[in-house]
Amino acid sequence: MKRLLLALILTAAAAFAGGITGQVVDAETGDPIAGAVVVARSASDAGRAQTNERGVYRITDLEPGKYSVAAKARGYLLSRYPRPVPVRATEMTDGIDFRLAGKRAGDGAISGRVVDRRTDEPIRGATIVAVGGGARYKARTDGRGRYLLRGLKPGRYSVTAGARGYVKESYPRPVPVVAGRVTKDIDFALASRQRSGAITGRVVDARTREPIAGAVVVARGEHGNGRALTDRRGHYVLKLKPGSYQVAARARGYVPEAYPRPVPVKPGRVTKDIDFALRHSQAGLAD
């Protein structure tokens, strides 16, 4: 009976709970701050939440009342909302936003965006490194491909960007950093590090269907050429860069043959069953 009563009380309390929501951004750049912690406290209740990649937070299950709200994030000064925030039953109080300032006003920052060179899509988790003045600073991009390198001493920095599956790139010139300022738009468009693919198949005698060992298989395409010999079972493997290829086979005593259509090669994939059945060059004479 006591458990049932407790459950009813908790259910009723949840039904009348409210909440607080808003966004946390960088005071200098206006960029959202992911992972910031926002805490709300009243005389009888408290709640907390972290911001998502868009800097948005939602504190739920708060009792009706007035709350003091504060936000903090690594590398930033704590910020308190300037007035008590009212929470009403079953409602979300929105627009409780924060603009956080960096801890050291004398330092500067670098910001920008990292995208895929071919698709222009943002690259999440790319690593940005700035080196200068005997120091090294590092940051990662968020879901929108944006990054912010904070706490840099004034000076000039070499900046590079890299990501898994992409070719690392250096910014073409030194990046200046001024005290208390953000050097913006230091952007990167990374080229994909293309993984090789392959073409495999078999070369046989057109009449007997016996494998032809030592046959030469050649692939020619816009991204390069490849050449392979068949083994004793007539099998061959051509390792190639992604693209489209014209493939042909030849062997001593046989008429060369070209595959009837272009053969696609995809990154990390094997295009199978590109087979050839070669006709003996003396077949007509033998008949």
Q: What is the pLDDT of residues 249-275, one digit of tens each?
A: 999 999 999 999 999 998 889 999 999
pLDDT tier for residue 118 given thresholds of 50, 70 and 90 = confident
Other beta carbons less than 10 A from residue 253's beta carbon: 10
Q: What is the mean pLDDT of the chain?
A: 89
Query: What integer pLDDT is reported at residue 2 of this predicted model?
Result: 54
Question: What residue has token string 């706490």?
Answer: 151
Query: Considering the entire predicted model, what is its pTM?
Result: 0.47
11-20, 240-249, 278-287: which is most confident: 240-249
Q: Count of H helices and E strands in the chain?
A: 2, 27
Query: Please, which residues have CB within 8 angstroms of residue 235's CB and are 6 or more apart in sequence?
Result: 200, 201, 202, 211
Within 13 Å, how many C-alpha atoms sit on residue 112's CB side?
A: 20
Query: Please, which residues have CB within 8 angstroms of residue 275's CB and are 6 or more apart in sequence?
Result: 201, 202, 203, 204
Question: What residue has token string 């050097």?
Answer: 183
Structure tokens at 130: 């700035």
Query: What integer pLDDT is reported at residue 92 of this predicted model?
Result: 95
Q: Is 222 helix (H, G, I), strand (E, B) or coil?
A: coil
Given a cut of 50, is residue 284 above it in pLDDT? no
Query: What integer pLDDT is reported at residue 104 of this predicted model?
Result: 63
Cα separation, 52 vs 59, in Å, equals 12
pLDDT tier for residue 223 given thresholds of 50, 70 and 90 = confident
Given a cut of 50, is residue 6 above it in pLDDT? no
The phi and psi torsions of 102 (rounded to 5 degrees) equal -65, 155
Q: Which domains does the chain have, with CATH numbers?
A: 2-100 (2.60.40.10), 108-190 (2.60.40.10), 197-286 (2.60.40.1120)
Given a cut of 70, is residue 101 above it in pLDDT? yes
Cα separation, 52 vs 198, in Å, equals 41
Query: What integer pLDDT is reported at residue 285 of this predicted model?
Result: 42
Residue whose C-alpha is closest to residue 253's, from 200, 214, 217: 214
- DSSP states along 198-215: EEEEEEEETTT--B-TT-
pLDDT in tens, 35-87: 999 999 999 999 999 999 999 999 999 999 999 999 999 878 899 999 999 99
Query: What integer pLDDT is reported at residue 27 of this predicted model?
Result: 82
Other beta carbons less than 10 A from residue 45's beta carbon: 15
Radius of gyration for the alpha carbons in the chain, expressed in angstroms and rounded: 32
DSSP state of 102: B
Percent of the chain with pLDDT over 90: 69
pLDDT in tens, 178-194: 987 889 999 999 988 77
The pairs formed by 167-172 with CB atoms below 8 angstroms and a separation of 24 or more are 167/191, 167/192, 167/193
Helix (H) or strand (E) holding 247: strand 243-250
